[in-house]
Chain A
């Protein structure tokens, strides 16, 4: 049972690389993850098409954040596979053999996947610009001067051109999150994962961050956003995924999932949130 799923996942992953030079295709196959006896992900299958915006909804503890974290290999899966553009995350493939990657190689894989945290996690001892510049220089070995110029552009793009030399503690929550988005973009990722990017913000500041994310939608990078902002999902998402208890309950275009949910669980959740 498990063996067939594995084989299928591997062949799909391999097939997609040869078929088209996809940019930012995320495939999740049969992923299980437990913390101790608590099963957080109970068999997830999901395909995120390149360049699209996927919004993941669901109650707390439904496994949304964990799903994002396993895509970026911040957590290791217990069972199943995840591939970005056909490359299996955490493994290298040679014929029918999968070898586990060393941490160093995982770090290289991660440079293709950006992650924006709920609590920003900016480096507090570095300025906004240094936060943006750090990884492209140290992880990708790019020229510092060139990255700095690009970093300033990115900060301008998120509306913070004048805050380049400010330290995170001197910025508001919304500004910090926008710097965090610029920092993720500086790596030129194919996939950008947002883990509840506005949950730690004052209601007033939510809009400015969502506007930045809207600006990124359909700009070439695949976006996967875990959020509770239903309005944002309705407006921007190509696909809405509803999760509960570690499973995907239903997925589809926003008009279908949000306005005509087929499952009672989705209906109950939306009734509470809306």
Chain B
């Protein structure tokens, strides 16, 4: 008799009936261990606890914390070595950063980049339209151009253009195969700057043409058809309908190319043209402060690239107009909103009403999930 009753007692102890134990306050979200009692317990819970009162514990990410700490240590090591190693000679860097001849060289780099980019993308667009035209000759010429100028190294092209006067001592304007009206000495027209622009611009055109062509091909065929069905003139179709939409694909790769061009101008030192890299070389050749002067150049290249990157963001945003429902916030807006969120979390004051929902939700973190949106709604209502 007793042997029969024992296991029953044990089982009763292992699985207590609902209500036998007092519910701990934090355990309401967890389903009870036994499936047989699940339905009854959860219904009583739902009726007795308000979900709004539940506490939310955010997920912990220890791996992420360890990685962050590791990277922080590495960063600190880099910064400390930059500061403590006297061989960087930061005082000399500061001295030469705004040296007149360095600024002159910087201007040379900017000028080369700007003109070569205009030549490159202007000619590149023409080449792209030729490639997409229906004339086989135009297509072939465009393809051949791209083939040749992508194949020959830039440095070789630059030296060739600079030596053009050897091949053709004079250049003349006139009727093809006929008499000429105007004649120039080649060296007068193609000086160092001219040769640099020809080399950089013409090779850039080969790359740009492919970028522009890719952009045009990315525009939906329906857009061409809609424009054609409305009878919009051909040039207008390209400029008003197709290119603005192609710009979305063209801009990111183009800025890539222009940044490449900024640094590509340093190759022009082979022509002894006074751009940034050549100027720096001349200076450290004289005073032997090689590393600090290279840092001067690096800093200026960083500055130019930063400016271009910021410009890229705004240009991309401009051309995103038709492609997204709402434009992404500008970096300035993003910083302002993040600060406002941080302020409201530190002070405990409600976040400003104009914050977009994603930021308002972040401001309300730590309060209950269900209350979060409700709170941000309430603050919006209260402030308005």
Contact = CB atoms under 8 A, between A and B. Distances in A.
A167 B245 CA distance: 14
Contacts of A110: 228-231
Contact of B323 (A72, A119, A169): A169
B62 interface: no
B222 A125 contact: no
A135 B324 CA distance: 24
Task: Pick from A72, A123, A135, A167 the residue with the most CB of B within 10 Å.
Answer: A123
Contacts of A104: 233-234
Contacts of A124: 245, 322-323
B95 interface: no
B82 to A, nearest CB: 46
Contacts of A60: none
B12 interface: no
Contact of A123 (B229, B233, B241): B241
Interface string B302-345: 00000000000000000101111100000000000000000000
B226 interface: yes
A109 to B, nearest CB: 8
Contacts of A109: 231
Interface string B96-132: 0000000000000000000000000000000000000
Given A74-B229, A125-B244, A138-B240, A119 B222 contact: yes
Contacts of B228: 74, 107, 110
B232 interface: yes
Task: Pick from B232, B241, B319 the residue with the most CB of A within 10 Å.
Answer: B232
A151 interface: no
A12 B233 CA distance: 31
Given A124-B245, A169-B324, A115 B233 contact: no
Contact of B230 (A119, A134, A167, A168): A134
Contacts of B220: 121
B325 A107 contact: no
A170 interface: yes
A125 to B, nearest CB: 3
A122 interface: yes
Chain B, interface SS category:
helix
B321 A125 contact: yes
Contacts of B41: none
Interface residues of B, number: 24
Contacts of B241: 123, 134
B225 interface: yes
A139 B232 contact: yes
A114 B231 CA distance: 9
A104 B237 CA distance: 12
A168 B244 CA distance: 15
Nearest to B230: A135
A138 B239 CA distance: 12
Given A123-B241, A125-B322, A169-B322, A183 B222 contact: no
B204 to A, nearest CB: 27
A187 interface: yes
Interface string B197-228: 00000000000000000000000101101111
Nearest to A72: B229
A122 B233 CA distance: 17
A121 B231 contact: no
A103 B230 contact: no
Given A123-B241, A125-B245, A125-B322, A138 B232 contact: yes
Contacts of B227: 123
B55 interface: no
Contact of A170 (B229, B234, B240, B325): B325
A117 interface: yes
A139 B237 CA distance: 10
B354 interface: no
Contact of A134 (B232, B319, B321): B232
Given A167-B321, A170-B325, A121 B233 contact: no
Contacts of A168: 322
A187 B231 contact: yes
A126 B322 contact: yes
A98 interface: no
Nearest to A187: B230
Q: What are the 7 A-B residue pairs with the smallest beta carbon separation, nearest first?
A: A125-B322, A124-B322, A135-B230, A121-B226, A111-B231, A121-B222, A115-B229
Given A107-B231, A114-B229, A138-B233, 14 more contacts: A74-B229, A110-B230, A111-B230, A111-B231, A121-B220, A121-B222, A123-B223, A123-B241, A124-B322, A125-B244, A125-B321, A139-B230, A184-B230, A187-B230
